[in-house]
Amino acid sequence: MGTRKQFQESAVTPWGIWEVLLDEPGYKVKRITVNPGHKLSYQKHAKRQEHWFAVEGEGVIVLDGKEITVGPGKALDIEVGVAHRATNPGKKPFVFIEVQRGDYLEENDIVRLEDSYGRK
């Protein structure tokens, strides 16, 4: 069994909130809340894959330029190197659970291709 970190890491961002629920060697679980009218960076990762499971609200996920509308109970997989973003065109928060898998799961494995908030 892995050693669990005894803290919950989180951040308030221009688009919403992310919270680490579990951080283990080889995988990490986050709850991500995208505020109405906002979107994450269009980004990709070199060292991790992700699985997103929608739990509240409705969002539009962009995978390599293709838009997919998701709501509670819908899930999708994002392979290493695939460009992706979550957007919330609705009036209620869009919440999904993100499971990251890989040998390196730090935030600096983000390559931003486009960002509405001036981040690089």
CA distance 25 to 105: 9
Q: Which residues pair with 18 in a beta bridge?
A: 11, 32
Segment (H or E) for 51? strand 48-56
DSSP assignment letter at 45:
-
Of residues 83 and 119, more confidently modeled = 83
Share of the chain above pLDDT 70, in %: 92
State pLDDT tens for residues 16-74: 999 999 999 999 999 999 999 999 999 999 999 999 999 999 999 999 999 999 999 99
pLDDT at 4 (0 to 100): 53
- pLDDT of residue 12 exceeding 60, the answer is yes
Tell me the domains of the chain and their CATH numbers: 10-114 (2.60.120.10)
Q: Is the pLDDT of residue 2 over 70?
A: no
- Which of left, alpha, beta for 46 (phi over 0: left; psi -120 to 50: alpha)? alpha
Separation of first and last alpha carbons in the chain: 36
Q: Can you tell me the mean pLDDT for 79-97?
A: 97
Among the listed residues 77, 81, 88, the one whose alpha carbon sits nearest the alpha carbon of residue 113: 81
- Average pLDDT (82-110) is 95
- Does the CA dihedral 44-48-49-51 come out positive or negative? negative
